[in-house]
A and B are shown apart, each in its own frame.
Chain A
């Protein structure tokens, strides 16, 4: 059933890698285990001392350990192998599941394993006393499993399955507090927006599958690097369609609208799914299909780049005007995803994944920090925070680390990854995009500093007495802070570029620009932008006066309003797509159904019964039956007359008889 597939033809990527041995063979364990765990938690979780959290933790810890071991293997010798299980054939198509163990997927396993472990630990405490505690862990575990299904998929089919499964988990978790209609609506919005994008992905997969005759990613990639004409003719279309799918999951403009709303979910969910892992699925898809884009759909990459750059800029601007701490981070996530997508678009495979890698850690850190704050002050609004650095020192320190990492100051993680993206843009000659990306770096630094100042500086503006969260919550913060500092050191141009080797350990060749040394122009532009952003924000919000008055000083009303309304995108969608479909169009169809189709059918019924009446009344009763009755009654009447002739008098009879004889005789005489 399981077949190890080492297509020698495909082995054109990194020359040195192994098949990973027994560890790779058993990687299916980390994919399947969460589903089993989720089942156990659902049915037995409530009866366990920690209400099911322990099973979730054990599972995720195993995933973490296993993925660490895989990463270790990959670092020391390189791993790339694929395994397929046939689950059915239709026509000439094989439907296959399986798992792929190579640099890219191992990196994702590790990110998912690490961040998820920390978030799970954090959540056991954060969610204490909340409704549906057990179900929350069921969903989280299910999510971990679905995400692993997605990143481990060697076929587009399984990718699509994982893709939508994480969507469902996202739906379940965003709508965790479904008693409130806003939350369930946010969950629905996320699901539907993703589903719209998934249409693109689905059609893209169909196009690819039918023009290559296989669903195996590695074979499609092989064909795309070997000039297969049937694939070439649809490559641009397929590339754009796949990207539409990626736009949904990775929240690219204009399909990003679901992500900020998704903050309705509990904060650990936001950290794990809507920052670190799930939203990077789009980037992962583009990276997985990167040889295809490079080999055949390079025009599609232009589209990818454009949307990436627009997203990173537009979303960053919105983050400036947000009052909700989590929404600042959400828009920041959208913006950072824009960076990653832009990197892919510019042909920088490693840079995109590198940013994915570092971003996962520091953004998870920021979200968990925000969660710690929210847990303490019981509100999301920064207007009611302030001065928390004294009450919550550990949260404060770690949040600052995350902020600096995100703003891109050396030597923290974000610095290296963002620099690599800027360098790639610069190298590719996309000067306008480069400028926008640098402006984006400025914006990033600005809104993060604003958020930090509003939250931790000045005086406390809320009610109650906030205090530091306990160690179960702060320990993950500290660990993540460590990652946020050090995660960037695995790929320093000219010093150590191990990360590049990790993620290019694949069966398909990755040909990309990779900087051998720092691009000092890009580096200094990014660094200056970041520093200016931090400095300006600090000046406006902290030095000029009270932090809460900072907005007033830089506010340009019209721009502010546009940003607060999120470029009116939501209004546009509601006014021109959702409402017309949901009310107008649906009602038209319903009316059509009842008043036209149904009425027609009923008219047939009514006409038939009318016709029946007509036939019965007029034709049957009024025609045939009447004629029959008439014939009998006329016979009756005739008889009544004729009988008068029969007098019983023999002489009369003889008279008749003789008259008859005479008449007949006369007739005979005259005629003959």
Chain B
């Protein structure tokens, strides 16, 4: 079984995620794009784990870790977005330049 199709799919998913991060104005959409990137990574982990037939299943364990952390991340991220939205009445990422000097 070839791993190529899975890797292409993962790369595509990754590219879409990057695109989403760079282009989307809505903060929620940016968060979603981050999730896409994380999932692209997960696919890679699972695929290589299967390909290498790792007895300890490290790839799959890692994937589970990532999914867990991603969930937490989205939870915190959405909470921040919610607070921002409450204060600013907007979810447009261009309006937020708090990190400026």
**CB of A654 closer than 8 Å to a CB of B:** yes
The residue of chain A having its C-beta at the shortest distance from the C-beta of B94 within the complex is: A649
A648 touches B22 (CB 8 A): no
List chain B residues, Cβ under 8 A from A658: 18, 22
B96 touches A648 (CB 8 A): yes
**CB of B21 closer than 8 Å to a CB of A:** yes
**CB of B52 closer than 8 Å to a CB of A:** no
Task: Give the Cβ gap from B100 to chain A, nearest Cβ, in Å.
Answer: 3
> Please, how many angstroms separate the alpha-carbon atoms of A135 and B94 in the complex?
118
Task: Give the Cβ gap from A658 to chain B, nearest Cβ, in Å.
Answer: 7
The residue of chain A having its C-beta at the shortest distance from the C-beta of B18 within the complex is: A658
Beta-carbon contacts of B80-101 to A below 8 Å, as 1s and 0s? 0000000000000110111111
List chain B residues, Cβ under 8 A from A648: 96-101
> Please, how many angstroms separate the alpha-carbon atoms of A242 and B78 in the complex?
127
**CB of A181 closer than 8 Å to a CB of B:** no
Task: Give the Cβ gap from A637 to chain B, nearest Cβ, in Å.
Answer: 15
B21 touches A651 (CB 8 A): yes
A646 touches B21 (CB 8 A): no
The residue of chain B having its C-beta at the shortest distance from the C-beta of A651 within the complex is: B22
Task: Give the Cβ gap from A661 to chain B, nearest Cβ, in Å.
Answer: 11
B97 touches A647 (CB 8 A): yes
Give the contacts of A624-672 with B (CB-CB under 8 A). 643, 646-651, 653-655, 658
> Please, how many angstroms separate the alpha-carbon atoms of A655 and B93 in the complex?
14
> Please, how many angstroms separate the alpha-carbon atoms of A658 and B14 in the complex?
13
A655 touches B100 (CB 8 A): no
Find B101's partner among A643, A651, A654 (CB 8 Å cutoff): A643
> Please, how many angstroms separate the alpha-carbon atoms of A646 and B93 in the complex?
15
A649 touches B93 (CB 8 A): yes
A650 touches B18 (CB 8 A): no
B22 touches A650 (CB 8 A): no
List chain A residues, Cβ under 8 A from B94: 649
Task: Give the Cβ gap from A109 to chain B, nearest Cβ, in Å.
Answer: 115
List chain A residues, Cβ under 8 A from B100: 646-648
List chain B residues, Cβ under 8 A from A653: 99
Chain B: number of interface residues, binned into ranges: 10 to 19
> Please, how many angstroms separate the alpha-carbon atoms of A644 and B50 in the complex?
48
Chain A: number of interface residues, binned into ranges: 10 to 19
Task: Give the Cβ gap from A522 to chain B, nearest Cβ, in Å.
Answer: 131
The residue of chain B having its C-beta at the shortest distance from the C-beta of A643 within the complex is: B101
A649 touches B22 (CB 8 A): no
List chain B residues, Cβ under 8 A from A643: 101
Find B22's partner among A646, A647, A655 (CB 8 Å cutoff): A655
The residue of chain A having its C-beta at the shortest distance from the C-beta of B97 within the complex is: A648
B98 touches A651 (CB 8 A): no
> Please, how many angstroms separate the alpha-carbon atoms of A648 and B95 in the complex?
10
A650 touches B99 (CB 8 A): yes
> Please, how many angstroms separate the alpha-carbon atoms of A650 and B25 in the complex?
11
- Residue picked from B18, B96, B97, most chain A C-beta under 10 Å: B97
B18 touches A646 (CB 8 A): no
B97 touches A654 (CB 8 A): no
> Please, how many angstroms separate the alpha-carbon atoms of A654 and B33 in the complex?
13
Beta-carbon contacts of B25-69 to A below 8 Å, as 1s and 0s? 000001000000000000000000000000000000000000000
> Please, how many angstroms separate the alpha-carbon atoms of A653 and B101 in the complex?
13
Find A649's partner among B18, B97, B101 (CB 8 Å cutoff): B97
A651 touches B18 (CB 8 A): no
List chain B residues, Cβ under 8 A from A651: 21-22, 30, 93
> Please, how many angstroms separate the alpha-carbon atoms of A444 and B44 in the complex?
151
List chain A residues, Cβ under 8 A from B18: 658
The residue of chain B having its C-beta at the shortest distance from the C-beta of A644 within the complex is: B101
List chain A residues, Cβ under 8 A from B99: 646, 648-650, 653
Given A655-B22, A658-B18, residue A650 in contact with residue B93 (CB < 8 A): yes
Task: Give the Cβ gap from A645 to chain B, nearest Cβ, in Å.
Answer: 10
Task: Give the Cβ gap from A656 to chain B, nearest Cβ, in Å.
Answer: 11
> Please, how many angstroms separate the alpha-carbon atoms of A647 and B96 in the complex?
10
Task: Give the Cβ gap from A635 to chain B, nearest Cβ, in Å.
Answer: 15
> Please, how many angstroms separate the alpha-carbon atoms of A649 and B101 in the complex?
11
The residue of chain A having its C-beta at the shortest distance from the C-beta of B23 within the complex is: A651
List chain A residues, Cβ under 8 A from B97: 647-649
List chain B residues, Cβ under 8 A from A646: 99-101
> Please, how many angstroms separate the alpha-carbon atoms of A650 and B100 in the complex?
10
B96 touches A654 (CB 8 A): no
Task: Give the Cβ gap from A455 to chain B, nearest Cβ, in Å.
Answer: 123
The residue of chain B having its C-beta at the shortest distance from the C-beta of A658 within the complex is: B18
> Please, how many angstroms separate the alpha-carbon atoms of A646 and B97 in the complex?
9
List chain B residues, Cβ under 8 A from A654: 21-22
> Please, how many angstroms separate the alpha-carbon atoms of A558 and B22 in the complex?
133
List chain A residues, Cβ under 8 A from B96: 648-650
A-B interface, 4 closest residue pairs, ranked by CB to CB distance from nearest? A648-B100, A648-B97, A648-B99, A643-B101
**Which residues from chain B sit less than 8 Å from chain A, CB to CB?**
18, 21-22, 30, 93-94, 96-101
A-B contact pairs, 20 of them (CB 8 A): A643-B101, A646-B100, A646-B101, A647-B97, A647-B100, A648-B96, A648-B97, A648-B100, A648-B101, A649-B93, A649-B94, A649-B96, A649-B97, A650-B30, A650-B93, A654-B21, A654-B22, A655-B22, A658-B18, A658-B22
Kindly list 13 other residue pairs between chains A and B, CB separation below 8 angstroms, not including A649-B94, A658-B18: A643-B101, A647-B97, A648-B97, A648-B98, A648-B100, A648-B101, A649-B99, A650-B30, A650-B93, A651-B21, A651-B22, A654-B21, A655-B22
**Which residues from chain A sit less than 8 Å from chain B, CB to CB?**
643, 646-651, 653-655, 658
